[in-house]
Amino acid sequence: MTEAGTLTRADLAESLHRQVGLSRADSARLVEQILEKMCTALSNGENVKISGFGTFVLRDKGERIGRNPKTGIEVPIAPRRVLTFRASQMMRDKIIGGG
């Protein structure tokens, strides 16, 4: 990883290059194609599930009343779409279970 705690596209491509044997250019292109496919699906309103890893889920949140923490004044929060990630049980076991 290039920065402490950050996995980059270049890291993924380099890993593909070393472990699978693809050229660096082909590895980078494959990573970009996968990420583009995921982005396209999400922008079309589809959830993205990667077995054994987790699911990227789109949720529509309705309008609600929030509060300005500085002034305490109530303000409406507009409806919006949010992207969440739910780790698979296998991933949770690896991260939390120490496996």
According to CATH, the topology of domain 47-99 is: HU Protein; Chain A (4.10.520)
Pairing of strands 64-67, 54-61: unpaired
CA distances from 22 to 1, 28, 83 (A): 19, 9, 32
Strands (E), 1-99: 48-50, 54-61, 64-67, 74-77, 80-87
Supply the pTM of this predicted model: 0.74
Q: What is the pLDDT of residues 20-55, one digit of tens each?
A: 999 999 999 999 999 999 999 999 999 999 999 999
Q: List 77's β-bridge partners, or say none.
A: 64
Q: What is the pLDDT of residues 60-93, one digit of tens each?
A: 999 999 999 999 999 999 999 999 999 999 999 9
Residue ranges covered by each domain of the chain: 1-44, 47-99
